[in-house]
Structure formats: structure tokens, C-alpha cells
Chain A
């Protein structure tokens, strides 16, 4: 009975840890996507003439489509926003998972872990204090 319980706990812990790895890999992949989208956006902005057409892939697969550069730019811009959102969601998810794992491991909660940052006026205080 006790053995079974222990086994169950270990399994849960391992699974939670594995989930963290998955999320972290996802975040890296997302950041990769973000950088590439940004590069593409910059390239379109700098290297094409207005009205020129450009090749681009669709995000669903390996289909190349020739569209107007300005339209491609808009699409990329929208995608960048989506990726940013996804990354911040992923980071929040990661936090939850780390919290869950520490809970399973019986470790105390990280202090100040799920605080939100303060902007502007507090930043001035911080800078004054820690310079």
C-alpha cells in the first residue's frame, strides 16, 4: 500500500518535471519562430520596393504563395503579435508547472515567485536603491 503510494508520487513528480521540459522546449521553439518572423519582416521592409511582390510560405505547410509585399508584411505583423502572446502564455504556464512540481517534491514555495512587476515610479525607487 505504502509502496504503491510512493510509486505513484514518484510517477507524478517525473511527469510534472517532464511537462516542464516540454514547455521549455516549446518556448525555445516559439522564440525561434519569433526571431525568424522578425527577420522576414525586416527583410520585406528594407529590401523590397513598394508594390513589389514577394514569395512567402503559409504557416500551415510548405506551400509557397506569391503575394504583394505589403500584404505579406501585414500577415507577418499579425503573426508576431500572436507569437508574443503565446510566449507570455507559455511563461505563465511554466510558472504554474514549476510551482506544481515543487509542491509534489515537498519543497517550499518560491518566495516572490508569482508577483507582478511594478513599472515606472517604482522602477525609479529600485534604481535608486540598488545602484
Chain B
């Protein structure tokens, strides 16, 4: 018996999307029910019931397009889930409402002025819904007839018979159409669409009824149903683009390629004005809808006085998005001034906002969050270990505890165990210092460090000499 040599067929590669695990990658929404009541643990959110409910109300208003040009401030201590709530809002809004997320310090760039960066962020958060409409002919090819002239050169003529489940018709073909039919290799039994305006032919697949025509077909052959109804259809597609995208395309200097390179530079205000009036015109004519989106500025206390006054002005514009800000500061100096103000935000701007407060997590909630994070990082943990970690997070911080999960998971793997035990967490705890222990350590042995400033009365001198 002859052995058949195993022939290796070209490997079918599978691409799986690799997603990095981020701090908030476990959040899929705000975790509210239909009546906007927060569920204790849902969609990756834990606790913060009143804050989530408040966010849900804001979200509902955004969805209905009722509010624009409003500002919401999420305030709370570090590690109480401010960014998580904003992320949850973004997830719950879906793809059709623009959501821009930026950190307060992102506006400080050498290439762009602060106001330009802010304006761009604002315009990224306003969507324009536009419809595109095309007439297409869609049907199953019954027959293709091509007459070649006897001389071999010159124009070809032909006939194409198309059918749907309801009708059948014959089209006369010109030279161009014949060429594109040949190029697409359309033959009887294929389901094709022809764009009426451009004459572009695209093959959708083969009709199911013709599935038995050949004994062997390639793996790429797709089988589709014979289309129903009319042959000549109208296809409508709505797109949501942001004002910023339209800006970039129309700013003459670079053209739309700048969209992909990301380097847009400054956009002239005349261009913006033109686009505003054009979009306004479209809206009047019923050609476009404005979709006010959401701009989220994290660490908003990093903005300075000029930015705040710009925000004040920008919120009054009739095409302003909903502005959501987050800060973890209490009463502190407004950046760039010597005045103190709550959250580091000037009082006049603060007056325009509604404020959502987040509370520190309780032990039970901490445990739940740690559990969710374990799942997110594919780490298994014993009940005891989880308890120890929860206690740790109470003593140190939630972020520190979350970071320990990854480390402890690696240590457990090294021991060749699948589950993280208490000893792994202990090991991780001794390997990496948390903030309080680090401070303590520094206080204990500070004399041995360089440039120790503790006994000097003023730090200015050291700054100047260094």
C-alpha cells in the first residue's frame, strides 16, 4: 500500500483581533436598566449608584438631542471611577454619536495653539449626518451575449439578461460595459449589481439555484439568494461624519490625506466659517442633520485661565457639544493664576455646569471590582487571595491592588499553578512598593539620596544651581 505523502496545503491564517487590556477595558456601558435605575453590578460597573444614575439621565438627554452646549463635571477623589463613568457613557452612546476623549494636558503642544487644539476637539464632537443615494441595478445574470465584430477590432455590442424573483429583462450593452463585464468575469448564474451613475459592476456571489452547476468550486465562491422585487433599486446610506473631518478635507493645504497622517496643523477660521454656513444650508434644505456629540476632558484642572474663558465662550455657540469634564482636585489654584477656586475651575464656568460627585468605593465594591479585573486579565484567584487583595486595596489604593493582579498572576504562572494564591499576592506586595510605603522608605533613608533638600530652608536655590 502506497502511503500518500501528506501535502501541506497553504495554511489558512486566522487573524484574531488582539486588544490590549486597558484600565477601563472591562466597561461596556453604564449598567442601568430601562428605567435608568442603576444595577449593583452590571456592564463592568460597580457601585457609584447615584453618580451612574445622574450620568444616565444626562445620557438620555444627549441621545434625544435635547441638550447641547451644556457642561457636566464629574468630581471625586482619585480612583473613584470618574473616567470609568465617562467611558461607560461613551460605550452606551454607541457609534452614531461622536464621543471625543482627551486629557486636559493634551492641549499643550508646540505645533498648535491651545485654542486651536480645543476648537478641534469641539468640532470632533459634533457629527453631521448625511445621506448618500445611488440607483443600482441588482439581479442574477441569466445570459450574456457578446457579438465580436468579424474583423476582430472595433466596438463590440452585446446583450445582458438579468432577473430577480419577480421579473426578467434584457439590457443592450455598449463597449465599456462589455469590457467591465469581462473584467469582472460575470457569467450566467452570478448575482451582480450595476451602479447606474458610474456603470461599475460588482459581483455579489453565485445564485443558490446554480450551486450544482459545477462539481468543483473554489473556496472563495459565495452563494447568495436571487434578489427579490424590482431590478432597479435605490440604495440609501447615511453617514455620520464630524465637523472636524469636513474641516480637514477642505483645508486646502493638505487635503484629506491629513486625516490619516493625523497632522492637521492649524485650520483657518475662514474655512471653518465656510463649512459652518454650508452645513447650516444643508440643514435648512433637509440634507443634513446635526448630531451634537460629547467632548470629554479628563483632568480638566490642567487647563489654564485662557482655556476656561474659551470654554465659556465656546459653550454658547449654537453648535456646541455636551462637555463632560472630570477632575480630582478640591479647592486649589486655577492654573496660570494665583486665585483659588473649587476644583481649580473658575466660578463663572463652574456655575454653568451640573456636578456629579463620585464617592470612594466600599470594601464590598472593591472586592467586586477586583473580581471583574481578574476576569478581564484572565487571572484566576482563590477566594482567600481575593480577600487579602481587597484588604490591601483598602490600606493602599484600588489602582495599586489592580496592578498587583497582573504581577501576582505572573508569579503564580512561574510556580506552575493556574490560580493565584495568597502567597503570590504576598510576594507581589513585597516586590513592589505602594505609595505610602515608598514615602515612608524615602523618609527613613533620605539622607543617603542626592540633592537632599530637607534641611535647606528654600528650594529655589537648588533649582537655580541645578
Cα distance A83–B245 in the bound complex, in angstroms: 40
Return the contact of B131 from the options A28, A36, A115, A128 (Cβ within 8 A): A115
Contact A128 B249 (CB under 8 A): yes
A residues less than 8 Å from B288 (CB atoms): 115, 118
Q: Measured between alpha carbons, how far is A72 from B130 in the docked complex, in Å? A: 42
Hey, which chain A residues are within 8 Å of B96, CB to CB? 111
Q: Do B169 and A28 touch (CB < 8 A)? A: no
Interface residues of B in 152-195 (CB under 8 A from A): 166-167, 169-170, 172
Is A116 an interface residue when CB atoms closer than 8 A count as contact? Answer: yes
Query: Closest approach, in angstroms, between the C-beta of A125 and any C-beta of chain B?
Result: 5
Q: Is the CB of A129 within 8 A of B229?
A: no
In the assembled complex, the Cα of A114 lies from the Cα of B133 at a distance in Å of: 12
- Complex contact B167–A115 (CB within 8 A): no
- Within B217-246, the residues touching A (CB, 8 Å) are 229-232, 234, 236, 238-239, 241, 245-246
Contact residues in A for B210 (Cβ distance below 8 Å)? none
Q: Is the CB of B132 within 8 A of A117?
A: yes
Inter-subunit contact B169/A36 (CB<8 Å): yes
Asked whether A31 lies within 8 Å of B230 as measured between CB atoms, the reply is: yes
B361: CB under 8 A from chain A? no
Q: How far is the CA of A112 from the CA of B259 in the complex (A)?
A: 25
- Pick the residue among B130, B167, B170 that contacts A32 (CB under 8 A): B167
Q: Is A102 an interface residue (CB 8 A)?
A: no
Report whether B231 and A129 are in contact in the complex, using a CB–CB cutoff of 8 Å: no
The segment from B41-49, B51-59, B279-287, B403-411 found at the interface with A is B279-287
Q: Would you call A126 an interface residue if the criterion is a C-beta within 8 Å of the partner chain's C-beta atoms?
A: yes
Query: Is A114 a contact partner of B286 (Cβ separation < 8 A)?
Result: yes
B283 nearest CB across to chain A (Å): 10
Instruction: Report if A32-B249 is in contact (Cβ < 8 Å); known contacts: A112-B238, A129-B239.
Output: no
A123 near B241: Cβ-Cβ < 8 Å: no
Are A115 and B130 touching (Cβ within 8 A)?
Answer: yes
The distance in angstroms between the C-alpha atoms of A39 and B168, with both chains bound, is 11
B166:A28 contact, CB within 8 angstroms = yes
- Output the residue of A34, A91, A111, A118 with the most chain B CB within 10 A: A118
Cα distance A24–B166 in the bound complex, in angstroms: 12
Inside 8 A of B236's CB, which chain A residues have their CB? 117
Interface size in chain B (residues, C-beta < 8 A): 32
Residues facing B in A107-131 (CB within 8 A) are 111-112, 114-118, 122-123, 125-126, 128-130
Indicate whether A46 reaches chain B with its CB closer than 8 angstroms.
yes
Q: Does A17 contact B (CB under 8 A)?
A: no
**Hey, which chain A residues are within 8 Å of B259, CB to CB?**
128-129
Q: Judge whether A85 is part of the interface by a CB distance below 8 angstroms.
A: no
The interface residues of chain B lying within 8 Å CB-to-CB of A35 are 167, 169, 231-232
B289 touches A112 (CB 8 A): yes
Judge whether B429 is part of the interface by a CB distance below 8 angstroms.
no
Q: Complex Cα distance A124/B169, Å? A: 33
Q: How far is the CA of A36 from the CA of B170 in the complex (A)?
A: 9
Cross-chain contact A34 with B232 (CB below 8 angstroms): yes
A111 proximity list for chain B (CB < 8 A): 96, 129, 238, 289
Contacts of A130 in B (CB 8 A): 239
In the complex, the answer to whether B231 meets A118 with C-beta atoms within 8 Å is no
Bound CA–CA A115/B231 (angstroms): 24
A42 at the interface (CB under 8 A from B): yes
- B256 adjacent to chain A (CB < 8 Å): yes
- A53 near B: Cβ within 8 Å? no
Known contacts A27-B230, A111-B238, A42 near B132 by CB under 8 Å: no
B287 / chain A contacts, CB cutoff of 8 Å: 115-118
Cβ of A99 within 8 Å of any chain B Cβ, yes or no, is no
Please tell me if the beta carbons of B169 and A38 are within 8 angstroms of each other in the complex.
yes
Expressed in whole angstroms, the minimum distance between the Cβ of A84 and any Cβ of chain B is 10
Q: Report the Cα distance A46→B174, complex, angstroms.
A: 13
Rounded to whole angstroms, the CA-CA distance of A81 and B132 in the bound complex is 23
**C-alpha spacing A115/B237, complex, angstroms:** 10
Pick from A30, A122, A128: contact of B130, CB below 8 A: A122
Check if A129 sits within 8 Å of B282, measured CB to CB: no
Residues A125 and B249 in contact, CB atoms below 8 Å apart: yes
Query: Which residues 264-295 in B have Cβ within 8 Å of A in the complex?
Result: 282, 285-289
**Residues of chain A with a CB closer than 8 A to B170's CB:** 39, 42
Interface residues of A (CB under 8 A from B): 24, 27-28, 30-32, 34-36, 38-39, 42, 46, 91, 111-112, 114-118, 122-123, 125-126, 128-130
Instruction: List 10 interface pairs A-B (beta carbons < 8 Å), by A numbering.
Output: A28-B230, A30-B230, A31-B167, A34-B232, A35-B167, A42-B172, A111-B238, A116-B131, A118-B131, A118-B282
A32-B167, A129-B245 are known contacts; what are 12 more A-B pairs with Cβ within 8 Å?
Answer: A32-B166, A35-B167, A42-B172, A111-B96, A115-B289, A116-B286, A117-B132, A117-B287, A125-B250, A125-B256, A126-B132, A129-B259
